Chain A
Amino acid sequence: MQAHETVDDSQLMIRVATGDKDALCKLIDHWEKPLGSFIYRYVQNREATCELVQETFVRIYEARDRFKRDMKFSSWLFKIASNLCKNYYRWRSRHPEDLIGDDEIEPSSDCACDLSRPDEDPSEILSRREDAAKIEELVGSMPHQLKVALLLHYYQDLSYKEIAATIGCSERGVETRLYRARAWLSKQLEHGNEEKCCHRFFAFTGLR
């Protein structure tokens, strides 16, 4: 997790505003990975991620005239991306039939990253993977504004101010959303643990 923005982004965006596509390519080089990571955590679907990353840059180019010098590019970028993600979710809920053959909902944090550390106990590794999968599942079902605030704060390293500009609220509002997001997650995890305990109990006593 790192701060991606440099002073050059705004300068590049000003060049993009004049129709300079090379500048757009530089912005793509710079922002493709963080943007992809944000979108993938949001939609949890590889194909949709690629599509939405492309669409975000297309929208940025189309809306280039609306970019202002005093704007933080990252805020603008994630604002567009989060709106696209929201629309994608809405569309997906209306067209569940189009999800056939999708590669989504892969448990355990995409299974693509290695969470293990050299000196770590295998059971620890497994536990952490299960935990990550649970977090992924819960974030997937989190309300939009809480999800955006959470993803931008913890995984994109954006400041409250930048998140506020992205979501369209005050910094205080961002704090509130993050608090609610954490509370929502804690509650869900607690509920999940209780359910897990119940499952174990019933399995043990043979009452299920």
Chain B
Amino acid sequence: MNEESRFTSPLEKRLENWEVSAPVDPQIKQHVLRRIAVAEAEKGRRSYESGMLDWIVCNPLAVSSCACAVILMACTALLLVREHNLREQLAAQSQSYFLMIDPVAHINALNGQPASGKEPSTVEMLAWMRDRFDLSREQFQDLVVLHEEYNDRLVTLYKELSGVQAEYATYETRRVNNEDIDFMALYDLLKKRDALRKDSTETSTQLVELVLRVLTPDQKREYLSLLNDSISHPEKSPDSPTSHAGA
């Protein structure tokens, strides 16, 4: 069909007069390609979502299995974290206990710094043992009585040792600053410290021996194992400043 055949009648002649200059977009290709890219990205996202949804709808058993697995994993993780925390707490408590019954180790752990915080009661101090060793009521009562008997003595020794340690630190400061030092007094102080240490060690040993008498063989073994760990790996006391800083 050619042009002449289309605009023949008067009306068609009038139609022929209607000419337009349509707008031309110089960047039409870029615009179209960009819109296609956006549409494809959106389509990909939707198909992934609908695919997931379809899979979920079609596989309720698998979905519930996955959900159960996730819940189980979450519970296991929670339990593991809790157990880990409990172990750490128990380790800190046992460490704290062995420092309390050994003033020399306690002083060393604190590195000459004064102890901070409130001293725990004997029951509090022994609570971990009841859980750890599964102590009977009688055993626990015996141990509480035993530790209370020694507690005052141990606290006194610890305070005296702290005082001597403080005095020794003063001498040390004077020595570092090249100040005059009364070596006789220092000698006396060191002798006093040695005596206190010896006394402390003997007291602690006595207490440990008495504690061992209360415990069953299995409990003894575990108690000694913990004591050895405490001696071979002397950690910082929980109330030492450096320990707090580390935390």
Give the segment of B21-29, B71-79, B169-177 that binds chain A. Answer: B21-29
A154/B7 contact (C-beta < 8 A), A54-B28, A61-B36, A135-B17 known: yes
Query: Are B23 and A50 touching (Cβ within 8 A)?
Result: yes
Partner of A113, one of B11, B19, B23, B25: B19
Number of B positions contacting A (CB below 8 A): 27
Contact pick for B35, options A1, A33, A40, A58, CB 8 Å? A58
Tell me whether A86 is interfacial, beta carbon within 8 Å.
no
**Complex alpha-carbon distance, A29 and B26, angstroms:** 11
* Chain B residue at minimal CB-CB distance from A133: B18
B134 within 8 A of A: no
Q: Is the CB of B15 within 8 A of A135?
A: yes
In the bound complex, what is the Cα–Cα distance between A49 and B31 (angstroms)? 14
Given A154-B6, A154-B7, A186-B11, check contact A113 B21 (CB 8 Å).
yes
A13 part of interface (Cβ distance < 8 Å): no
Which of A20-28, A69-77, A200-208 is the interface stretch? A20-28
What 1/0 mask marks residues of chain A from 115 to 138 whose CB sits below 8 Å from any chain B CB?
100000000000010011001100
**A109 and B11: CB pair below 8 A?**
no
- Contacting residues, chain A, for B22 (C-beta < 8 A): 33, 36-37, 39-41, 49
Within 8 A of A (CB), among B52-106: none
Q: Is B20 an interface residue (CB 8 A)?
A: yes
Question: Please, which residues of chain B bring their CB within 8 A of the CB of A157?
Answer: 1, 3, 6
Inter-chain contacts of A189 with B (CB < 8 A): 11, 14
**Residues A109 and B18 in contact in the complex (CB < 8 Å), given A28-B28, A153-B6:** yes
Most central of B1, B17, B33 by chain A CB within 10 Å: B17
B20 touches A58 (CB 8 A): no
Are A58 and B3 in contact, with the CB atoms below 8 A? no
Q: Kindly state whether residue B184 has any CB partner on chain A within 8 Å.
A: no
Q: How far is the CB of B35 from chain A (nearest CB, A)?
A: 5
Would you list 30 pairs from A and B whose C-beta atoms are within 8 A, ordered by A residue?
Answer: A1-B3, A1-B6, A24-B32, A24-B33, A28-B28, A28-B29, A28-B32, A29-B29, A32-B28, A36-B24, A40-B20, A40-B22, A49-B23, A50-B28, A54-B28, A55-B35, A57-B32, A62-B36, A109-B18, A115-B19, A128-B17, A131-B14, A135-B14, A135-B17, A150-B15, A154-B7, A157-B6, A159-B1, A182-B11, A189-B14
Where the two chains meet, the residues of A that have a C-beta atom closer than 8 Å to any C-beta of B are 1, 21, 24-25, 28-29, 32-33, 36-37, 39-41, 46, 49-50, 53-55, 57-58, 61-62, 109-110, 112-113, 115, 128, 131-132, 135-136, 139, 150, 153-154, 157, 159, 182, 185-186, 189
